[in-house]
Amino acid sequence: MDTGFHVPVLLGEVVTWLRPRARGCYLDCTIGLAGTAERILEASDPDGILIGIDRDPTAITCAETKLRAYKSRVKLFCENFQNVQSALHSANVKQVDGMVFDLGVSSAQLAQPERGFSFQQDGPLDMRMNPTQGPSAAHLVNTLPETRLAHLIYTFGEERYSRRIARAIVSARTHAPLRTTMELSHVIQRAVPGAYRHGRLHPATRTFQAFRLAVNDELDALQTVLTHVPHLLAPGARACVISFHSLEDRIVKQSFRGLAQDAPDQWAVLTKKPVVPSPEERTTNPRARSAKLRVLERLPRMGATSVTRGHA
């Protein structure tokens, strides 16, 4: 995994909303290349604690290297974030002063052809965040019936041509199993109308998203971890979640809104509208274009009557 220069999406905004401070304890549930974690540690100097989680073993190894200078202040766990309570128990922590999620596949993972996330580079059709766990994308592509393939592609990819693509996959695999990302990409491109092949998005984008979400059970994991958030945030703490497509964003929005509506004296959604990257960031970092940041705060005390909304 490339550990060179890398700036996480909405980094400045996340750190501003999170408000790291000395003696605070912070949780990065998708530590990746540890760019956000490093900024949190810098801002919480000299004794803030960072607990980092990632289901990708390579990401944990990279984070260990990047955060070596902060070793006494860092605890890392190779874990699916839906099991966050187990990780915190191992760290002997009950509540945190802030938590961050940067959802989806990372640019570093996309850059590794052997991981199978990208339709722009040829590699094995894998897509697993943790390559040692669960069935790969190739297993789903080559074993699911046509109707289930179409449902998966439509539900998780919001792909309008899901039936045509599913039919084409089933037809192609009768000759030989689809094993690589390019093989699947070519099948998709041949299945969709010509105008769609030359649209704004690559025609394989939504289908690859659908298989990745299904392989890693990402939406269920997100829904599960969000049910833990109320128990993990200390009074005055904030949760910052960056999502990259409507399915994730809808889950986060509904979860945060539900808490604030059910207990307005305990919870506040600080982002009336999601925070999006600046034009400059969208230009310099293409991955940032679809990012949305939502922020939830556990109010400092019961019965609080005011909260700053729309400002960090």
Alpha-carbon distance 22 to 45, whole Å? Answer: 5
Buried b (16+ CB within 10 A) or exposed e, 287-309: bbebbbbbbbbbbeeeeeeeeee
Whether residue 161 has pLDDT greater than 90? yes
Identify the band that residue 267 occupies on the pLDDT scale cut at 50, 70 and 90: very high
Residues 121-142 have a mean pLDDT of 96
Please give the Cα distance from 168 to 203 (Å, whole number): 14
* Of the candidates 41, 46, 9, 7, the residue with the CA atom closest to the CA atom of residue 27: 41
Return the pLDDT at 6.
61
Share of the chain above pLDDT 70, in %: 95
Which ranges constitute the DSSP H helices of the chain? 11-18, 35-43, 57-66, 84-90, 107-110, 137-143, 146-157, 162-173, 181-191, 194-197, 205-216, 218-232, 246-262, 279-284
Task: Kindly give the interhelix angle for 218-232 and 246-262, rounded to the nearest 10 degrees.
Answer: 30
pLDDT surpassing 50 at residue 270? yes
The pLDDT assigned to 301 comes to: 73
Cα–Cα distance, 150 to 155 (Å, whole number)? 8
Q: What is the pLDDT of residue 244?
A: 95
Res. 33: pLDDT tops 60: yes
146-158: pLDDT as tens digits: 999 999 999 999 9
196 φ, ψ to 5°?
Answer: -70, -35
Q: What CATH architecture does domain 132-216 belong to?
A: Orthogonal Bundle (1.10)
Q: What is the pLDDT, as a whole number, of residue 186? A: 98
What span, in angstroms and rounded, lies between the C-alpha atoms of 124 and 300? 49
Tokens of residue 273, six digits: 């509208």
pLDDT of 135 higher than 70:
yes
Q: Which of 1-10, 44-53, 170-179, 198-207 has the lowest mean pLDDT?
A: 1-10
* Per-residue pLDDT tens digits for 167-199: 999 999 999 999 999 999 999 999 999 999 988
**CATH number, domain 11-108+218-298:** 3.40.50.150
Domain ranges of the chain: 11-108+218-298, 132-216
pLDDT digits (tens, 9 = 90+) for 48-103: 999 999 999 999 999 999 999 999 999 999 999 999 999 999 999 999 999 999 99
- Look at residue 307 in the predicted model and tell me its pLDDT: 37
H or E segment to which residue 242 belongs: strand 233-243
Q: How many C-beta neighbours within 10 Å does residue 278 have?
A: 13
Task: Give the per-residue pLDDT at 302.
Answer: 53
What integer pLDDT is reported at residue 310 of this predicted model? Answer: 42
Q: State pTM to two decimals.
A: 0.91
DSSP-assigned states of every residue in 85-130? HHHHHHTT-S-EEEEEEE-S--HHHHT-GGG---SSS--BS---SS
pLDDT the model gives residue 221 = 97
Average pLDDT, the chain: 93
Give the lowest-confidence range in 2-16, 95-109, 193-207, 231-245.
2-16
pLDDT of residue 196: 94
